[in-house]
């Protein structure tokens, strides 16, 4: 425990532990130590957990294969899951009674999982709703393991399925919470445990509709679950525990001198998460913004490190750039034509066509001559997007008002993030200068409207060099 932590003595702390932290019995024991140690400082701890790492993917695979009519693969997967979870339970729990209840509980869940996969195999069909139900199991196992371990250590602890608490819409696979109803459930089913000294261990990732149908909030959304629940209990702090020391200035595999960023604002982290930094789910800060609760990204395996603090105010650092991110596997779609000049609606119709094929656009730029505009989509969607636009623009293409709709696939987006970019003259010039000094050609440049970021599109083969050049702009 550092001096800084001792000074602030928050009463309510929400801790979220990711898949690696929940990965095996050693790491789960470490999670329990962190919880118990902070509780001993007088804090009330709400814990939210991910599934053991890899489990959610296996569940998806079980459902997928079953939907092709394969009635065996899911049996094999469920068997592997049984071995892994029961073995972990054996290590984590000494008391025979606690262990028996835990293993029976896990067995019952696994049996129902198998039965559901069997139905999918018979129907040869999987709906998003069915997928959510199957994919919700991982967190239900892991929450039970941790709660049983804490009980085995002599603490009051209870595994709670968030489907009882987080009320969502029915947008399966990417459900959104109804905060008022969730707040009511939190008051009723969660706060009493926090007040009577029980450790509630809540499943991340999942919720349920008003009718009680299980939903998931999107891949990697356990962070978001923790923020939703943290906001509802008025948490003083939200700590997202992961397996790195915090949010890094860039990917250390590209720049070995990359380091942990000590402080970021909500705005900056939003931009970072959107533009490819994998540490935090992009929606995480949303629920706590109004409450102003600070978020910390911390390392389960280096628990005295304070990690990255994310707060309301932004600290302007010298040099303005705080982080450099990269998104690979994208393509740059261009719509070109001299006949487009001054014609309203071409861009609008193009983006409607892209939306209609279900693809979201990552970045947009238009040349002021109006003779072309371009935008970035995921590479896997290139041909879908081109077909959609060509269909929408077939008359313009025939008439020659639009000359060309095409894409190049050998590109990446590199984004520099930092609040100081707002109103600091010359940042864009320095960013572009850093690249031109190294002879890197910028294909597209776009500035986020928040002015927290500048994004550049460059050729994929120059990507790492570009990241290194921009990382040099970060003040030490």
Tell me which residues touch ligand ASP (CB under 6 A): 19, 50-51, 56, 138, 204-205, 219-222
219 binds, among Mg ion, ligand ASP, none (CB under 5 to 8 A by kind): ligand ASP
Q: Give the pair of three-digit tokens for residue 291.
A: 């409450």
Task: Give the closest residue to 350 by CA, choosing from 396, 400, 409, 412.
Answer: 396
Please give the distance of CA 233 from its chain centroid, rounded to a whole number: 22
Tell me how far, at minimum, the Cβ of 374 lies from ligand ASP, in Å: 32
Q: Give the pair of three-digit tokens for residue 13.
A: 């702390």
221 binds, among Mg ion, ligand ASP, none (CB under 5 to 8 A by kind): ligand ASP
Tell me how far, at minimum, the Cβ of 474 lies from Mg ion, in Å: 25
Q: Closer CB to ligand ASP, residue 16 or residue 43?
A: 16
204 binds, among ligand ASP, Mg ion, none (CB under 5 to 8 A by kind): ligand ASP
Could you tell me if 299 and 243 are in contact, meaning their C-beta atoms sit under 8 angstroms apart? Answer: yes
| Alpha carbon distance 320, 381 (integer Å) | 34
Q: Closer CB to ligand ASP, residue 220 or residue 388?
A: 220
Q: Closer CB to ligand ASP, residue 38 or residue 140?
A: 140
Would you tell me which residues interact with Mg ion (CB under 5 A)? 18, 220
Task: Dihedral sign for Cα 125, 127, 130, 134, please.
Answer: positive
Tell me how far, at minimum, the Cβ of 220 lies from ligand ASP, in Å: 4
84 binds, among ligand ASP, Mg ion, none (CB under 5 to 8 A by kind): none
130 binds, among Mg ion, ligand ASP, none (CB under 5 to 8 A by kind): none
350 binds, among ligand ASP, Mg ion, none (CB under 5 to 8 A by kind): none
Q: Closer CB to ligand ASP, residue 177 or residue 448?
A: 177
For 196, list phi and psi in degrees, rounded to 5: -95, 15
Q: Closer CB to Mg ion, residue 31 or residue 470?
A: 31
- The Cβ of residue 190 has, within 10 Å, a number of other Cβ atoms equal to 22
Tell me how far, at minimum, the Cβ of 424 lies from ligand ASP, in Å: 35
Strand, helix or coil at 34? helix
Q: Give the pair of three-digit tokens for residue 90.
A: 């054996």
Strand partners, 375: 333, 364
For 392, list phi and psi in degrees, rounded to 5: -65, -35
Q: Closer CB to ligand ASP, residue 23 or residue 420?
A: 23
Tell me how far, at minimum, the Cβ of 57 lies from ligand ASP, in Å: 7
Q: Closer CB to ligand ASP, residue 50 or residue 453?
A: 50
Q: Closer CB to Mg ion, residue 18 or residue 130?
A: 18
Tell me how far, at minimum, the Cβ of 220 lies from Mg ion, in Å: 4
In the block, tokens 């720049």 appear at: 255
Q: Closer CB to ligand ASP, residue 21 or residue 325?
A: 21
- Number of residues that make up the chain: 476
Task: Give the closest residue to 365 by CA, choosing from 354, 355, 375.
Answer: 375
Task: Give the closest residue to 232 by CA, choosing from 240, 220, 224.
Answer: 224
51 binds, among Mg ion, ligand ASP, none (CB under 5 to 8 A by kind): ligand ASP
Could you tell me if 146 and 31 are in contact, meaning their C-beta atoms sit under 8 angstroms apart? Answer: yes
Q: Closer CB to ligand ASP, residue 203 or residue 416?
A: 203
Tell me how far, at minimum, the Cβ of 350 lies from ligand ASP, in Å: 32
Tell me how far, at minimum, the Cβ of 467 lies from Mg ion, in Å: 22
Rounded to 10°, the helix 73-92/137-152 angle is 20
- The Cβ of residue 325 has, within 10 Å, a number of other Cβ atoms equal to 25
Tell me how far, at minimum, the Cβ of 308 lies from ligand ASP, in Å: 18
Q: What is the 3-state secondary structure (H, E, C) of 340-402?
A: HCCCCCHHHHHHHHHHHCCCCCCEEEECCCCCEEEEEEEHHHHHHHHHHHHHHCHHHHHHCCC
| Alpha carbon distance 27, 89 (integer Å) | 13
Tell me how far, at minimum, the Cβ of 313 lies from ligand ASP, in Å: 28
Q: Give the residue closest to ligand ASP by C-beta.
A: 222
């Amino acid at each position: 425990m550092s001096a800084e932590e001792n000074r602030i003595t928050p009463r309510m702390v929400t801790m979220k532990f990711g898949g690696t932290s929940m990965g095996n019995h050693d790491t789960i024991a470490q999670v329990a130590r962190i919880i118990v140690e902070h509780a001993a400082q007088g804090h009330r701890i709400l814990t939210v957990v991910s599934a053991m790492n890899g489990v959610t993917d296996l569940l998806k695979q079980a459902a997928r294969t079953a939907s092709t009519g394969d009635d065996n693969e899911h049996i094999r997967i469920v068997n592997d899951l049984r071995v892994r979870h029961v073995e972990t339970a054996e290590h984590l729990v000494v008391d025979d009674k606690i262990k028996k209840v835990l293993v029976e509980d896990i067995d019952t869940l696994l049996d129902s999982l198998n039965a559901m996969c069997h139905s999918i195999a018979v129907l040869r069909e999987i709906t998003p709703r069915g997928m959510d139900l199957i994919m919700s199991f991982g967190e239900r196992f892991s929450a039970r393991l941790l709660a049983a371990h804490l009980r085995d250590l002599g603490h009051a602890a209870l595994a709670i399925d968030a489907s009882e608490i987080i009320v969502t819409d029915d947008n399966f696979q990417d459900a959104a919470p109804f905060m008022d109803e969730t707040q009511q459930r939190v008051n009723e089913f969660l706060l009493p445990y926090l007040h009577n000294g029980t450790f509630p261990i809540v499943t991340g990732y999942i919720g349920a509709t008003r009718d009680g149908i299980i939903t998931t909030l999107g891949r990697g959304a356990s962070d978001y679950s923790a923020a939703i629940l943290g906001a509802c209990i008025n948490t003083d702090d939200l700590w997202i525990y992961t397996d790195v020391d915090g949010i890094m200035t860039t990917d250390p595999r590209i720049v070995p001198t990359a380091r942990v960023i000590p402080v970021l604002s909500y705005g900056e982290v939003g931009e970072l998460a959107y533009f490819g930094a994998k540490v935090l789910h992009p929606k995480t800060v949303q629920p706590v913004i109004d409450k102003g609760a600070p978020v910390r990204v911390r390392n389960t395996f280096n628990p005295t490190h304070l990690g990255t603090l994310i707060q309301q105010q932004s600290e302007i650092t010298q040099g303005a750039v705080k982080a450099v991110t990269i998104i690979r596997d994208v393509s740059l779609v261009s719509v070109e034509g001299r006949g487009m000049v001054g014609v309203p609606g071409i861009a609008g119709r193009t983006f409607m066509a892209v939306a209609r094929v279900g693809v979201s656009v990552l970045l947009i730029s238009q040349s002021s001559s109006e003779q072309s505009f371009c935008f970035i989509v995921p590479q896997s969607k290139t041909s879908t997007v081109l077909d959609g636009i060509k269909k929408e623009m077939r008359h313009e293409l025939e008439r020659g008002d639009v000359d060309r709709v095409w894409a190049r696939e050998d590109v990446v987006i590199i984004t520099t993030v930092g609040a100081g970019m707002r109103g600091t003259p010359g940042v864009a010039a320095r960013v572009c200068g850093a690249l031109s000094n190294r002879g890197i050609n910028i294909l597209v440049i776009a500035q986020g409207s928040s002015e927290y970021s500048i994004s550049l599109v460059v050729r994929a083969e120059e990507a790492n060099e570009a990241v290194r050049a921009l990382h040099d702009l970060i003040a030490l």
